[in-house]
Amino acid sequence: MLKDKFRDYRIAWQEIALHFEVYILPIKISVKLCENKQIKLIIPDVTVYFIVEPDKVKVSKLLLYLNSDLARSLLKLRAWNARGGYFRHQSTSVGALPLPEQILQCNLWGWIKERVEGIENEELNKVLREIIEKYQEKLVDELVKTLELSKDEYDSIVEWGKWLNEL
C-alpha cells in the first residue's frame, strides 16, 4: 500500500551544480486554472535526472546517502568538472557511485523507517532535511561502520571533496 502512494514521486537532481544534492519531487501537481482544478505534469526547464523507487523508506535512505558528504566527495571522482567549481552530475557519474547493499536491504539507518512512514509525501523533503541537521553525526557514524571505514579515512575523503570545489 505504501508503494502505491509513493509512485508519483521521484528522487531528482540537477545536472550542473556546485554540490550534488537530491530532492524528492512529485511528477504531477494540482493547479487551479479558471476555477477548475487540474492535474499537470511537472516538466523541468533544466537537465534533471530521476531515480524511480516506489518504497518511501528506501527513497529516504537513498536520499540520505546521496546527500551525504561521503557520496558527494566520491561522485567528484567521476563527475565532469565544469567552469567555476561546478560539476556535471550526469546519470553515468551518479550510477557509478558505490551503493552499500545495506541501503537496498534497509539494514542501514533502521531507525529512519519509523520516522518517515507516517509522513505525508509532500513533507518528506522537509523531514529528511531536519533528520540530516539533527542526526548528522549518527548518520555518519552508521555509514562509516557499515562501509568499514575508519573515521580518518572518511574525514580524508570528505576533505578532499571540499578541496576540489575550491580549485
Cα gap 148→34, rounded to integer Å: 57
One digit per residue, the tens of pLDDT, for the chain of length 167 reads: 445 566 778 889 999 988 899 998 887 777 777 777 777 777 777 788 888 888 888 889 999 999 999 999 988 888 888 888 888 999 988 988 888 777 767 678 888 888 888 888 888 889 999 999 999 999 999 889 888 889 999 999 999 888 876 65
Q: Which of 19, 103, 96, 28 is nearest to 59 (CA)?
A: 103
Cα gap 162→157, rounded to integer Å: 9
C-alpha cell read off for 140: 555518519
**pTM of the predicted model as reported, rounded to 2 decimal places:** 0.82
Domain residue limits, the chain: 2-166
Q: Which amino acid belongs to residue 3? A: K
